[in-house]
């Protein structure tokens, strides 16, 4: 009997710790089999995370993935990198500049300015779902969540939140549990066993957003087995998309067949 109880106890512990939310969020039905434009529908002529990229994606009927960060004065802007070097040619950190200072820069060689979250919501106009990635560190996740939700609470369109940082999901679980939340994760060499999902018992994500290149990893397969909805990123061609594994497809560099 003891020999039987030990494996059962281990299995129970694994299920408790690593299980995603057991309740399927109703919003997931509206993202199922959807293509999601990574940082908008951008190209060499249209900058990523720009209002033009979001307008093109919405006009084409694609859901939109975007990244948000805090400025030095607590405003929420849409920008992927921690600094401006790649997109604006400067080494300044986004978090060290105010919104007005950031608005002095242009994205790549375009006339586009770094947009705010409010501006992006206005462009989307509730036409397509939004997948919002929270970019923060352990010291400012709470501030970013609070600042973003002050804006999003008035938005009538459909949006999902996701982050690599469990603190974001924990905040939403405690404060805005009705919002569909997802854990961003991938296979990293120094991860051990199931460590990307070690905080699931605190965050209970409704979906897992995972790099499609590592879809055979043990952790991801367990999440699927436990019922997690799976978003795949980032697909660069139609041939890479496996609809048997993923429920939604984050893409860039091509336009998928509709």
Q: Residue 150's pLDDT is what?
A: 97
Task: Give the mean pLDDT of 217-236.
Answer: 93
How do residues 75-115 score in pLDDT, each as one tens digit?
999 999 999 999 999 999 999 999 999 999 999 999 999 99
Kindly state the average pLDDT of the residues 44-51.
Answer: 97
Q: Is the pLDDT of residue 157 over 70?
A: yes
How does residue 194 score in pLDDT terms, banded at 50, 70 and 90?
low
> What's the mean pLDDT when you consider all of the chain?
92
Q: Sorting pLDDT into bands at 50, 70 and 90, what band is 66?
A: very high
Measured N-to-C along each axis, helices 2-18 and 218-225 cross at an angle, to the nearest 10 degrees, of 90
Rounded (10°) CA dihedral 71, 203, 158, 29: 150
Q: CA 124, CA 49: separation in Å to the nearest integer?
A: 12
* Segment 127-135 mean pLDDT: 97
Residues forming beta bridges with residue 111, ordered by sequence position: none
SS3 for 64?
A: strand
**CB atoms near residue 109 (< 10 Å):** 10
Q: Is the pLDDT of residue 142 over 90?
A: yes
CATH of 23-251, one of 3.40.390.10, 3.20.20.190, 3.30.420.40, 3.40.50.920: 3.20.20.190
pLDDT tens string 5-46? 567 666 676 777 889 998 899 999 999 999 999 999 999 999
- To the nearest 10 degrees (0 to 180), the angle between helices 117-124 and 51-60 is 30
């Amino acid at each position: 009997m003891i020999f039987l109880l030990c494996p059962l106890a281990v299995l129970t512990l694994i299920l408790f710790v690593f299980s995603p939310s057991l309740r399927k969020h109703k919003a997931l039905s509206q993202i199922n089999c959807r293509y999601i434009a990574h940082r908008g529908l951008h190209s060499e002529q249209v900058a990523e995370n720009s209002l033009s990229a979001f307008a093109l994606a919405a006009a084409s009927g694609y859901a939109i993935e975007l990244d948000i960060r805090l400025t030095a004065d607590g405003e929420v802007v849409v920008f992927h990198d921690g600094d401006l070097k790649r997109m604006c040619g400067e080494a300044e950190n986004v978090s060290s500049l105010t919104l007005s200072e950031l608005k002095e820069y242009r994205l790549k060689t375009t006339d586009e300015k770094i947009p705010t979250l409010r501006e992006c919501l206005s462009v989307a106009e509730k036409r397509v779902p939004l997948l919002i990635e929270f970019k923060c560190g352990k010291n400012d996740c709470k501030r970013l969540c609070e600042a973003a939700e002050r804006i999003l609470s008035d938005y009538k369109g459909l949006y999902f939140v996701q982050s690599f940082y469990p603190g974001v999901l924990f905040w939403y679980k405690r404060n805005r549990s009705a919002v569909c939340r997802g854990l961003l994760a991938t296979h990293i060499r120094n991860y051990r066993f199931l460590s990307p999902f070690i905080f699931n018992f605190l965050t209970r994500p409704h979906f897992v957003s995972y790099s499609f290149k590592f879809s055979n990893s043990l952790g991801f397969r367990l999440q699927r087995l436990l019922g997690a909805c799976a978003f795949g990123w980032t697909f660069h061609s139609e041939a890479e998309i496996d609809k048997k594994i993923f429920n939604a497809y984050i893409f860039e560099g091509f336009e998928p067949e509709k």
